[in-house]
Structure 1
Amino acid sequence: MPSIRAPASKQTATLQVAVKCRPLTDDEQRRSRHIIQVIDDKTVVVLDPDLSKDYLDLIQNRTKERRYTFDHVYPPGCSNSDVYKNISSTISGVVQGLNATVFAYGSTGSGKTYTMVGTHSDPGLMVLSFRTIFELIKKDGGPDTFEVSCSYLEVYNEVIYDLLEKSSGHLELREDPQHGIIVAGLRSIKVHSADRILELLNIGNSRRKTESTEANATSSRSHAVLEITVKRKQKGQYGNQVLRGKLALVDLAGSERASETNNFGQKLRDGANINRSLLALANCINALGKQNKKGLAYVPYRNSKLTRILKDGLSGNSQTVMVATISPADDQYHHTTNTLKYADRAKEIKTHVHKNIGTLDTHVEDYQRMIDSLQVEVSQLKKELAEKEHQLSVKPTEKAADSELSWLNVLSQETGENVQERINLQKALFELEETNKRNRLELQHLDDAIARHQVKEMDSTVLQALTSRRQVILDNIRDNDEAGSGYRKVLIFFYSLWFSCLQVTLRSFSLRTLK
């Protein structure tokens, strides 16, 4: 496993906010009025939905009209490709070891899922993003090697499920000291093409919870997060450097009012949970906006699993894009202004971006080279000690010579033992590397076999056996990684001990020469 080093420098980035307005539907054109006016590519005006004004409103110039300015504003009729043009540079950074987050925010029926997933004729931001990643990898003509993997989860009623597992159980969030918030047990599949991710995306979407409501014919009842990880291995003088970029693509469920959806029973409870998690997200956006304006403010990430998952994207190491989707219908005025209000506050949010740089375990050839160099080092040390023994043996005082020779013998023995221990540790690390290389190859074959069985829905007994074997391999990899980490710590200790002995030896010889 790569070991992550501390970043050399951090850059502060402002959360990028775009607003996308969908067209009126045929039904809305018959019963609603268009209240969204796009002034230019950065300014949007929400017109007053009330045409009739009483005397006081006219005299005091009261109006519900609102004007907002954002990084990008897209009028009705724009395509997902138009939106993607302005965020493609953020996606490109993933191949260079940067993190990125893209999420759509808005009320139910405002076009979030269409923006993120899209259709065959108008692909969404998810599809366009992973196509860009593979195009950049294909264009790269250098010696670097790339490894791409993806995972897909949903948060439904504050419970996390794996959308790439046919019958996923409840998954739990964990705090990892190196990688931050992770989902324990979430399946990550290695992929080699954009078509493979699209296939997995379609599988996951078919398992996602959706229902028909009066506000939306196919309302998403869960929040979905597609995460793509790109590892870029760069060969250097002392092993391999790894750049690890992560792209989180989030399709949120939409906030809704029970009076508009006419939900009851389970749908009503689902809507309440959706609104609760979105309220937690809105509270985090509010707190982060105040934090950057007025100083420290408590950010309630722990109020929802959704906000914990999005923590890096909102305030951590990530270049983040928020696409606020709105409806132009006058009966959606309150939803539209609420969405734009939170989007306007999100403009104040700052993130701290840096490259994720790590070092990969040394390859087999490097281990062999290190062992050879250590053996040469042993021979040179023995030769030097033999010369010093010969010089000391010709001293006139026999007692002093015996003392010097005894001291040199002890030092020679300790140095030899130290070097031998280092050789043994290097060999042990070499064997662990070989074993884990075979384990990871088998794990990749198992993942592919499990994915094929899930697509074809074959015998559950075979699938269970494959899944059990996969867990055994994962446990072996984890145990080997822990053992390798221990070996490296001991190896560093022996190197420092050897270096200290060498310094003492040189100092002692200098003092004896002066005498």
Structure 2
Amino acid sequence: MPSIRAPASKKTATLLVAVKCRPLTEAERRRNRNIIQVIDDKNVVVLDPDLSKDYLDRIQNRTKEKRYCFDHVFGHACTNSDVYKGVRSTIAGVIQGLNATVFAYGSTGSGKTYTMVGTQNDPGLMVLSLNTIFELIKNDRSSDNFEVSCSYLEVYNEVIYDLLEKSSGHLELREDPEHGIVVAGLRSIKVQSADRILELLNLGNSRRKTESTEANATSSRSHAVLEINVKRKQKNQNRNQILRGKLALVDLAGSERASETNSGGQKLRDGANINRSLLALANCINALGKHQKKGLAYVPYRNSKLTRILKDGLSGNSQTVMIATISPADDQYHHTVNTLKYADRAKEIKTHVHKNIGIIDLHVADYQKMIDNLQVEVCRLRKELAEKESHVNVQSVEKNSDGEISWLNTLSQETSENVQERINLQKALFELEETNLRNRTELQHLDDAIIKDKDDAIALVLKSRRQLILDNIRDNEETGTVYRKVLESPLLVCFHIFVAPMNEY
């Protein structure tokens, strides 16, 4: 049945930015010192890696020491569960029809994949988020129906692959007028439990591109996006309401320097493409930060497929969390400061959050009830006819069987055909309304394009197209009016339906 998007109030939300510092590894302890000081749960200090500078250098601002303040700061002793507590409220909104995005940002080896995926003893944000969604659904006291589906993709060398398909081909991005940026051909699987999604997550991770470099033994060579869609059907006396929530969990590949990884050949090309897409993301963060401070600024989303996928999370309809992962090793000072610099700018980014609400209007629900009532009516009539036939006097049957039974059979057949025709007519009416909904969506986009486009020739073409769609909407509405009048006629008035073609362009 066609769903009509209900007006929803928009709320401005600021990107929630958290910083997570991993502990030093055994190898790093032998050759590096810790340059990260977590002051409290919101403040972090990056110490100058050069120990030769004295007190005078520091007070004269000749030090590289940096101080930052964020929504949350987690030290090396914190677990993924500690990090998740700070973002859980964002995840919980998904079953209420809100969109949420969580992505980890940082250099290679800083702990992004560990934070998002985790281990069996310390599960990551992806695992914890899935458990939360199904726990909230299980504990929901309403009579609402929930439907959960998931998809998993990776962006490798600016090519999109489906991680849930064994031999996935290249997938393309499309811009849908209603759903925004979508990946054409991406497989979406309906799931009934968190364990099923974890199976798919493990399957997808086994197909993800990873390599060993001198900077990281298991370096992710692609950006991975796990998307969870929750469809919630609400019911009340006046209307059926559908809420659609979406959770995007993003594990980015890490930036790296070729001089540190000593990569060559394909690894070097992979690293260059990773850095290019992360630079595009950094440019988007910079532009969005300037947009909030100084007004309008061009945001280069189209410079990378990664930024196009993250567009909603960065400036659209989404509650977004950025987890900046950093290394405490002194030889990672420049990577750490760069990560914190972009995270600090991301604090200025604002998104516009509203519920994704679809409404099935009352009259459409009435049509469905009408179909159900007609089907009950025909069953009742068939039962009465059967009872009447069983009580017919044998002598009367002998005398009048050719006339009466023939009439009963004809009446039964006509009643059945009448009901079937009404059902077909009702289906055609649903399709007409759904078509007009799509036509009106395109009409709105055309109106926006006509206002923005200054080229007279293009504007003329757009106006011509607009008029054509208006005519089609009017024709469909007239046809729909005829269908409704027929549906209001008595049950046993027989008619034949000639469904007019629907006008959709």
TM over 0.5: yes
1:232 corresponds to: 232
Mapping of 1:417-428 within 5 angstroms? 425-428=425-428
Q: Distance in 1 between matches of 2:18 and 2:305?
A: 25
What stretches of structure 2 of length at least 5 have no aligned partner? 375-419, 433-471, 486-505
1:235, distance to aligned residue in structure 2 (A): 1.6
1:21 equivalent in alignment to 2:21: yes
1:118, distance to aligned residue in structure 2 (A): 0.2
Seen in structure 2, the aligned counterparts of structure 1 residues 91 and 61 have a Cα distance that, compared at 3 Å, is: closer
1:494 equivalent in alignment to 2:480: yes
2:52 corresponds to: 52
Can you list the C-alpha shifts for 1:2-47, whole angstroms capped at 9, x where unaligned?
A: 6351532100000000000000000000000100000000000000
2:95 corresponds to: 95
Seen in structure 2, the aligned counterparts of structure 1 residues 294 and 497 have a Cα distance that, compared at 3 Å, is: farther
1:164 equivalent in alignment to 2:164: yes
1:335 corresponds to: 335
2:150·2:197 contact (CA, 8 Å) conserved in 1?
yes
Q: Distance in 1 between matches of 2:14 and 2:223?
A: 24
| Structure 1 SS opposite 2:288 | helix
1:104 equivalent in alignment to 2:104: yes
Q: Which amino acid aligns with 2:329?
A: A
1:425·1:491 contact (CA, 8 Å) conserved in 2?
no
| Structure 1 SS opposite 2:33 | coil
1:124 corresponds to: 124
| Structure 2 SS opposite 1:86 | helix
| Structure 1 SS opposite 2:20 | strand
1:76, distance to aligned residue in structure 2 (A): 0.6
Can you list the C-alpha shifts for 1:319-343, whole angstroms capped at 9, x where unaligned?
A: 0000000000000000000000000
Seen in structure 2, the aligned counterparts of structure 1 residues 154 and 86 have a Cα distance that, compared at 3 Å, is: same
Mapping of 1:189-208 within 5 angstroms? 189-208=189-208
1:158·1:273 contact (CA, 8 Å) conserved in 2?
yes
1:239·1:363 contact (CA, 8 Å) conserved in 2?
no
1:405 corresponds to: none
| Structure 2 SS opposite 1:314 | helix
Q: Which amino acid aligns with 2:253?
A: A
Q: Tell me how large the CA RMSD over aligned residues is.
A: 3.0
2:211 corresponds to: 211
2:385 corresponds to: none
Can you list the C-alpha shifts for 1:250-308, whole angstroms capped at 9, x where unaligned?
A: 00000000010010000000000000000000000000000001100000000000000
Can you list the C-alpha shifts for 1:57-109, whole angstroms capped at 9, x where unaligned?
A: 46844000000000000001210000000110000000000000000000000
Seen in structure 2, the aligned counterparts of structure 1 residues 123 and 368 have a Cα distance that, compared at 3 Å, is: closer
1:173·1:181 contact (CA, 8 Å) conserved in 2?
yes
1:292 corresponds to: 292
1:425, distance to aligned residue in structure 2 (A): 3.0
Q: Distance in 2 between matches of 1:54 and 1:44?
A: 21
| Structure 2 SS opposite 1:247 | strand
2:39 corresponds to: 39
| Structure 1 SS opposite 2:248 | strand
Q: Distance in 1 between matches of 2:300 and 2:230?
A: 30
Q: Distance in 1 between matches of 2:221 and 2:232?
A: 36
What stretches of structure 1 of length at least 5 have no aligned partner? 375-419, 433-485, 500-515
Q: Distance in 2 between matches of 1:135 and 1:51?
A: 50
| Structure 1 SS opposite 2:290 | helix
Q: Distance in 2 between matches of 1:253 and 1:89?
A: 26
Mapping of 1:497-508 within 5 angstroms? none
Seen in structure 2, the aligned counterparts of structure 1 residues 283 and 430 have a Cα distance that, compared at 3 Å, is: closer
1:21·1:328 contact (CA, 8 Å) conserved in 2?
yes
Seen in structure 2, the aligned counterparts of structure 1 residues 217 and 359 have a Cα distance that, compared at 3 Å, is: same
1:67 corresponds to: 67
| Structure 1 SS opposite 2:164 | coil
1:301·1:308 contact (CA, 8 Å) conserved in 2?
yes
1:366, distance to aligned residue in structure 2 (A): 4.5
Q: Distance in 2 between matches of 1:236 and 1:146?
A: 16
Q: Which amino acid aligns with 1:48?
A: D
1:142 equivalent in alignment to 2:128: no
1:5 corresponds to: 5
2:292·2:349 contact (CA, 8 Å) conserved in 1?
yes
Mapping of 1:429-444 within 5 angstroms? none
| Structure 2 SS opposite 1:87 | helix
| Structure 2 SS opposite 1:490 | helix
Which of 29-38 and 47-56 deviates more? 47-56
Q: Which amino acid aligns with 2:83?
A: V
Q: Distance in 2 between matches of 1:237 and 1:491?
A: 27
1:243, distance to aligned residue in structure 2 (A): 0.1
Q: Distance in 1 between matches of 2:156 and 2:423?
A: 53
1:55, distance to aligned residue in structure 2 (A): 11
| Structure 1 SS opposite 2:367 | helix
1:280·1:301 contact (CA, 8 Å) conserved in 2?
yes
Q: Distance in 2 between matches of 1:106 and 1:140?
A: 37
2:415 corresponds to: none
1:52, distance to aligned residue in structure 2 (A): 1.2
| Structure 1 SS opposite 2:322 | strand
Can you list the C-alpha shifts for 1:212-259, whole angstroms capped at 9, x where unaligned?
A: 000000000000000000000012345521000000000000000001
- State the aligned residue count: 403
Seen in structure 2, the aligned counterparts of structure 1 residues 4 and 101 have a Cα distance that, compared at 3 Å, is: farther
2:429·2:480 contact (CA, 8 Å) conserved in 1?
no
1:507 corresponds to: none
Seen in structure 2, the aligned counterparts of structure 1 residues 56 and 88 have a Cα distance that, compared at 3 Å, is: closer
Q: Distance in 2 between matches of 1:317 and 1:188?
A: 21
Seen in structure 2, the aligned counterparts of structure 1 residues 365 and 316 have a Cα distance that, compared at 3 Å, is: closer
Which of 421-430 and 221-230 deviates more? 421-430
Q: Distance in 2 between matches of 1:256 and 1:6?
A: 46
1:38·1:73 contact (CA, 8 Å) conserved in 2?
yes
1:246 equivalent in alignment to 2:246: yes
1:7·1:355 contact (CA, 8 Å) conserved in 2?
no
Can you list the C-alpha shifts for 1:355-379, whole angstroms capped at 9, x where unaligned?
A: 00013599998535346999xxxxx
1:142, distance to aligned residue in structure 2 (A): 1.3
Q: Distance in 2 between matches of 1:355 and 1:488?
A: 31
Q: Which amino acid aligns with 1:224?
A: A
